[in-house]
Amino acid sequence: MIERLSPMLAAQAEPFDSDDHLFEVKWNGVRTLAAVEGGQWRAWGRELSDYAARYPELELLRGLPDGVVLDGELVVLREGRAELDELMRRHQLVSPRKIQEASRFLPATYIVFDLLYAGGRSLLGRPLAERRRRLEELLAAHNDPRLVFSAGVAGGGQAFFRQVVEQGHEGAMAKHLKSRYLPGQRGQAWRKIKPFQSIPCVVLGYTPSRQGFRSLLVGAVWGRKLQYVAELTSGFTQEAKRRLAPRLPTLVRSQPAVPCSKRACWVEPEIYCEVRFLERTARGRLRGAHYRGLIEQ
């Protein structure tokens, strides 16, 4: 039996041009690997968790040739864009009855971007360009609308990035055409390129540590009112911690200034900071948020 592989990971990058790289949409879903062996199929995620029970519609994988292992993203598509919130409603279901209903009324699409095994033989050491050529031929022969090849372009990465962001996608992926597949490893051969936004936030609380604090809990205006939007754990320089740490304990209050279910030391909403993030959820939460600096009043 082919072992479950951990997915290859990508490093953060800014938009760039390169004829040596393939640029494709960064699909906003759940990373999923799948294998077909002996007429049976398996699907799993980053932590090697079994996804087969969660997505019974992946039964369509039985139609693929034996000895195939795929890498891709499970998404719920709306007008060609991946809607992560809708997929998360699917992903969190545990009731078999509700899962079956969701697979009919909110079916997931498996967008595939890599072929790791074919005919039971490993392709991990082969260049990406070859793996994707064989993958495209495989999926074209299968021809199922829920099993989609992730198309891309070589060169012109900056223009491609602007185009996919304007279309409402999460961002772009850049992959070196000669890259081997390295399970569980993160490196410069694969790069993820995402658009960032910045907004002013107010500090609502913090989690203390010996160095002063581990994280900041921040709020921002959403729907015309202030609400909790993120817990920041990254982006702090030593200088930022040096400036913030002495101020926080002087502003402690017993309850958060706005409702928040997290545990923290709450402070008066008097410290403002800039927060960089990737996107907002339907509830106003910030995804991919990190600290950028103080905003002096």
Tens digits of per-residue pLDDT, 149-165? 999 999 899 999 999 98
Q: Give CA–CA dist 227/262, Å, rounded.
A: 13
> For the chain, which residues make up each domain, given as ranges?
9-193, 197-295
Residue 184 zone, left/alpha/beta (φ > 0; ψ -120 to 50; rest): left
pLDDT at 130 over 90: yes
Radius of gyration of the chain, Cα coordinates, nearest whole angstrom = 22
Residues 6+ apart with CB under 8 A from 80: 167
Would the pLDDT of 6 be above 90? yes
Report whether pLDDT(296) > 80. Answer: no
| Segment 7-16 mean pLDDT | 93
What pTM, to 2 d.p., does this model score? 0.74
Residue 182's pLDDT is 97
Give the number of other Cβ atoms within 10 Å of residue 161's Cβ: 23
| Model pLDDT, residue 225 | 93
pLDDT value for 119: 95
pLDDT at 263: 94
pLDDT tens digits for 170-224? 899 999 999 999 999 999 999 999 888 899 999 999 999 988 899 999 999 998 8
Q: What CA–CA distance (Å, rounded) separates 197 from 287?
A: 11
- For the chain, the helix, strand and coil percentages under 3-state DSSP, each to the nearest 5: 20, 40, 40
Q: What's the per-residue H, E or C state across 136-201?
A: HHHHHHHCECCEEECCEEECCHHHHHHHHHHCCCCCEEEEECCCCCCCCCEEEEEEEECCCEEEEE
Q: What is the pLDDT of residue 297?
A: 60
Q: Determine the Cα–Cα distance for residues 221 and 202; give it in Å rounded to an integer.
A: 9
Q: Is the confidence at residue 141, as pLDDT, over 70?
A: yes
Across residues 9-23, what is the average pLDDT?
Answer: 94
Alpha-carbon span 242 to 168, nearest angstrom: 39
Find the mean pLDDT for residues 244-270: 95
For a pLDDT cut of 90, what percent of the chain falls above it?
77
Average pLDDT over residues 48-54: 94
CA 145 remoteness from chain centre: 23
In a 13 Å sphere around the CA of 22, the CA atoms on its Cβ side amount to 21
Query: What pLDDT score does 197 carry?
Result: 86
* Nearest in space to 219 (alpha carbons), one of 143, 162, 273: 273
Percent of the chain with pLDDT over 70: 100
pLDDT band at 78 (very low <50, low <70, confident <90, very high): confident
pLDDT of residue 273: 95
Measured CA to CA, the distance from residue 261 to residue 256 in angstroms comes to 9
Q: So what's the pLDDT on residue 143?
A: 86
Residue 5 has pLDDT above 90, yes or no: yes
145 pLDDT above the threshold of 70: yes
Interval 258-272 mean pLDDT: 95
Residue 280: the pLDDT is 87
Give me the architecture of the 9-193 domain, per CATH: 2-Layer Sandwich (3.30)
> Between β-strands 279-280 and 147-149, what pairing exists: parallel, antiparallel or unpaired?
unpaired
What's the CATH fold of domain 197-295?
Answer: OB fold (Dihydrolipoamide Acetyltransferase, E2P) (2.40.50)
pLDDT confidence band for 259 (50 / 70 / 90): very high
